[in-house]
C-alpha cells in the first residue's frame, strides 16, 4: 500500500495550474515533427476569440483548410502565441487578438523550429523568398 501511495504522490502537484512558462508537447497524428506549444495556445477560450476575429486562414501562408479539403477541413487551424514566453510575468493575461494568430501546422512547426519562435512576418518573408526562387525554375 505504501508503494502505491508513493506512486500516486509522484504526480507533480503543479500540473493543474497554468504557469506562463509551461510548455507542453503535442504530437499531431502522422506528423514527423514535434510542435511545442505553450499554455496560451491550448487555452480554448482565447483560441475561439482569436479565430472569431481572424478566421481560419493561416496568418503566414494564407492556407485555408476548408478551401483545400472541403468539409473535413472546416474550422481546422492551429493558434500561435506571439509573445515570447520568457517575457511573460505572473499577471499576464493573453489578449486573443493582439497575442494570438491562426497558423497552419506546417507554418506553426517552422515558427517553433527556433526557441524563441521566429516572427510571423519573418517566416512569411522567407516563404515568399523561397517561393520566388522555386517558381524561377
Pick 63 or 65: Cβ nearer Zn ion? 63
Binding to Zn ion by residue 80, rule CB under 5 A? Answer: yes
Determine the interface stretch with Zn ion among 2-10, 47-55, 62-70, 89-97 (rule: CB under 5 A). Answer: 62-70
> Is the CB of 46 or the CB of 107 nearer to Zn ion?
107
The reply on whether position 58 binds Zn ion by CB under 5 A is: yes
Question: Whole-number minimum distance, CB 124 to Zn ion, in Å?
Answer: 9
User: Total binding residues for Zn ion by CB under 5 A?
Assistant: 7
Please, are residues 34 and 27 in contact by the beta-carbon 8 Å criterion?
yes
Residue 60 is a binding residue for Zn ion (CB under 5 A)? yes
Q: Tell me how far apart the alpha carbons of residues 100 and 118 are, in angstroms, rounded to a whole number.
A: 14
Give the integer Cα–Cα distance in Å for 44 and 94: 12
> 97-126 mask for Zn ion (x: CB under 5 A)?
-------x--x-------------------
CA distance between the termini of the chain: 69
Compare residues 46 and 104 and give the one whose CB is closer to Zn ion: 104
Task: Identify the burial level of 121 via C-beta atoms within 10 angstroms of its C-beta, where 0-12 means exposed, 13-18 middle and 19 or more buried.
Answer: exposed
Name, in order, each residue with C-beta under 8 angstroms of 24's C-beta and a sequence gap of 6 or more: 36, 37, 38, 39, 42
In the complex, the residues that contact Zn ion under the rule CB under 5 A are 58, 60-61, 63, 80, 104, 107
Amino acid at each position: 500500500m505504501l508503494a502505491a501511495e508513493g506512486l500516486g504522490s509522484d504526480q507533480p502537484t503543479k500540473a493543474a495550474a497554468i504557469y506562463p512558462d509551461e510548455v507542453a508537447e503535442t504530437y499531431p497524428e502522422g506528423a514527423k515533427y514535434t510542435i511545442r506549444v505553450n499554455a496560451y495556445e491550448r487555452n480554448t477560450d482565447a483560441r475561439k476569440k482569436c479565430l472569431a476575429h481572424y478566421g481560419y486562414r493561416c496568418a503566414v501562408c494564407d492556407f485555408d483548410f476548408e478551401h483545400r479539403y472541403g468539409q473535413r477541413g472546416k474550422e481546422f487551424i492551429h493558434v500561435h502565441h506571439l509573445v515570447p514566453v520568457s517575457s511573460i510575468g505572473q499577471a499576464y493575461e493573453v489578449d486573443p487578438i493582439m497575442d494570438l494568430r491562426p497558423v497552419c501546422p506546417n507554418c506553426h512547426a517552422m515558427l517553433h523550429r527556433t526557441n524563441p519562435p521566429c516572427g510571423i512576418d519573418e517566416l512569411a518573408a522567407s516563404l515568399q523568398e523561397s517561393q520566388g526562387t522555386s517558381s524561377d525554375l
